[in-house]
Structure 1
Amino acid sequence: MPIRLYDRHGELSHLEVSSDVWFFMNHLKAQKLEAAHDHNYMEIAFVLGGCARHTTVRGQSACSGGDVLFIPRGAWHGYSECRSFELVNCLFSPTLIENELSWLRAVPPFSALMGGADGLNVEVQTLRLPRRALPLLRRRLAELEQAYRKRASRIRLLGHLLLVFDLLRSAVPLTDSSVVNPTHEEHLHPSVRTALLLLHRDYGQEWSLTRLAQNLRLNGSYLTRLFKSHTGHAPMQYLSRVRAHRAATLLLTTRLRIGDIGLRVGWPEPKLFARQFRHHFGMNASEYRRKQLQPFRTV
């Protein structure tokens, strides 16, 4: 099967696409299912009609027709309070992102939205299309869906995908302030990129500015200035954000104890974990887990 759904006590918790799948899509009409999950492919979700509450690790927001959600690999999200909700999901393999669509990283607004295989982009982001663009978007997605269901060649599928991306590019102002991703690759300094890769890959290790600078063979003060100029954060502040995001995802996708999650993300001391988590999310981990999962509990 190209796609597998993993279940936890009757609730969808993880969606996994087979590694040999280049592209996957489905079309959900009058969606009522309240479900939250993470998955191993990048997803773009096109909301064509109705409304719902969209929940990510950062909280809840309303979504409705015209919203386009960019969901990176590993990100947890879900929909609740669905009313006549119509959604088209497109899942992109790392191969497709890194090869046929790699050039999109140099094209605004996709340069700030397209996550790569390195996993630097971990935040779910939303584009809001003007109402006038919806009829053409619906037509473009219908053409893509028809080609997908007929198992058209990759070249034909890619052609339809490019028409969808071209519509998004032309419909969204290049100055759209909702598109924010400080780690997109355009003009990223090689040392900053290496630092980001290290912090994202090995966030559970015991990092310090000195150790990171030694890995990069740079002066610590220079690294801080360079890193902050690209990301808006000092290296250890950025690492704290990565750890908090990962801790939140583990709280929502596993039944691990809070202390075990702290160990995994690099905050082994319970008081340190509690202080850092509250700093990022404004509540303790137990309250966060209960509040975020509440909309998806089965009665």
Structure 2
Amino acid sequence: MPATLHEHALFAGDPVLAGVHHLDLDIEPHAHDFLEIAVIGAGHGRHVTSQGEHPLRRGQVIVLRPGAWHGFRDCAGLTVANCCLSAQALRAELAALHDLPMLRRMLWTDPVASGTHGVAVTTADPAAAEEAIAEITLLERDLRAEPSRPGRVLGRLVTVLGILADGRDPGQEALEPAVHPAVAATIARLEAAPAHPWRLDELARSINLDPTHLGRLFRRHVGLTPLGFLARLRAERAATLLAQSTLPAARVGAAVGWDDPTYFARRFRTLVGLTPTEYRRRSRSAARPQQGS
């Protein structure tokens, strides 16, 4: 897997990164600033997250939001297929993925839920997982093709995501409605200016809704309150700054809207599972050559 785990170095302007890896060595816990989907194939190993260590099983699908961290231990012939999406692209050319209920739950709702620290682990049908691994192999090939094949890459990405979504519990996603326009508009405002000192009444007033009603809509469509979503957004933006810059932690917090350094450290640890200093250390340790992500 890549020797560095920072978006600006890995993606080189592309929205997607992919690879299939066979691990026999431990991968130390590390952080990164993009969205990662890891599909587990054959072999053995243990997954390390803020929730502890757990045995890996064939067919597991691990989704990590930007700012999340993980590692692998006791690996023996472990197959891990990675499909990584640029955080910048998720706010731009890949933003439409959020409009699809089955993908919204997999890539957004589940991993940003309270207490997950940006990590969601589910299990797909083993046949679906193997099919997804095969498609990720082809996606890796298409990404390396000369001349570039952006249309084929996008099509392959959607295929991978569709296979994994279909391999989950089919009933849960089918019940999810399309994102309410008021929720979409509020998300756009928050993403455009996460450092603004937003209040719920201000957000509700901007879209002519009662604050309580907006809160209910957000919980239904996002799984968080508007301000809970804002906190997660700030934590992800802070993780990017911690990984990619040398700004002191206090200035990072202020840059994303948390002016009080103590409060920033507390909120970041609650949402990510590490203090800002620990996160920066792990994101930098990822620059050492490794076989996995």
Select between 257-266 and 78-87 the one with higher mean Cα deviation.
78-87
Unaligned runs of 5+ in 2: 289-293
Structure 2 counterpart of 1:70: 63
Structure 2 counterpart of 1:173: 169
Query: Structure 2 CA distance, aligned partners of 1:142 and 1:282?
Result: 32
Matched, 1:112 2:78: no
2:263 is matched by which residue type in structure 1? L
- Structure 2 counterparts to residues 115-126 of structure 1, below 5 A: 123-126=118-121
Structure 1 counterpart of 2:32: 38
**Shift in alpha-carbon separation, 1:262–1:32, aligned structure 2, 3 A:** same
Alignment partner of 1:259 out of 250, 259, 266 = 250
1:34 is matched by which residue type in structure 2? I
Unaligned runs of 5+ in 1: 7-11
- Structure 2 counterparts to residues 118-157 of structure 1, below 5 A: 123-131=118-126
SS of 1:198's partner is helix
- Structure 2 counterparts to residues 1-299 of structure 1, below 5 A: 6=4, 12-14=5-7, 15-19=9-13, 21=14, 24-30=17-23, 32=25, 34=27, 36-38=30-32, 43-54=36-47, 60=52, 62=54, 63-71=56-64, 74-81=66-73, 83=75, 84-91=77-84, 106=100, 108=102, 110-114=103-107, 123-131=118-126, 164=160, 167-175=163-171, 186-247=177-238, 250-251=241-242, 254-277=245-268, 280=271, 285-286=276-277, 289=279
1:265 is matched by which residue type in structure 2? V
Given that residues 269 and 276 in structure 2 are in contact (C-alpha distance below 8 angstroms), is that contact kept between their aligned partners in structure 1?
Answer: yes
Q: Deviations over 1:61-120 (max 9, x none)?
A: 534432223345x45444332513322223457889988996895463x342256xxxx9
Q: TM-score, normalised by structure 1?
A: 0.64
Structure 1 counterpart of 2:291: none
Q: Deviations over 1:114-153 (max 9, x none)?
A: 56xxxx9994433312446555555555566677777796
SS of 2:83's partner is strand
Query: Structure 2 CA distance, aligned partners of 1:269 and 1:87?
Result: 40
Given that residues 51 and 85 in structure 1 are in contact (C-alpha distance below 8 angstroms), is that contact kept between their aligned partners in structure 2?
Answer: yes
Query: Structure 2 CA distance, aligned partners of 1:13 and 1:273?
Result: 22
**Shift in alpha-carbon separation, 1:282–1:98, aligned structure 2, 3 A:** closer
Structure 2 counterpart of 1:9: none
Given that residues 83 and 136 in structure 2 are in contact (C-alpha distance below 8 angstroms), is that contact kept between their aligned partners in structure 1?
Answer: no
Q: CA deviation at 1:274?
A: 4.5
Q: CA deviation at 1:198?
A: 1.6
Q: Deviations over 1:276-298 (max 9, x none)?
A: 44655677555x54896799697
Count of residue pairs the alignment pairs up = 273
Query: Structure 1 CA distance, aligned partners of 2:15 and 2:285?
Result: 32
- Greater gyration radius: 1
Q: Which has the higher helix share?
A: 2
**Shift in alpha-carbon separation, 1:16–1:37, aligned structure 2, 3 A:** farther
Given that residues 183 and 221 in structure 2 are in contact (C-alpha distance below 8 angstroms), is that contact kept between their aligned partners in structure 1?
Answer: yes
Seq. identity, % = 23
Q: CA deviation at 1:221?
A: 4.2
Q: TM-score, normalised by structure 2?
A: 0.65
Q: Deviations over 1:137-174 (max 9, x none)?
A: 55555566677777796777777667655643553322
Given that residues 99 and 178 in structure 2 are in contact (C-alpha distance below 8 angstroms), is that contact kept between their aligned partners in structure 1?
Answer: no
Query: Structure 2 CA distance, aligned partners of 1:222 and 1:89?
Result: 39
SS of 1:242's partner is helix
Query: Structure 1 CA distance, aligned partners of 2:249 and 2:150?
Result: 44
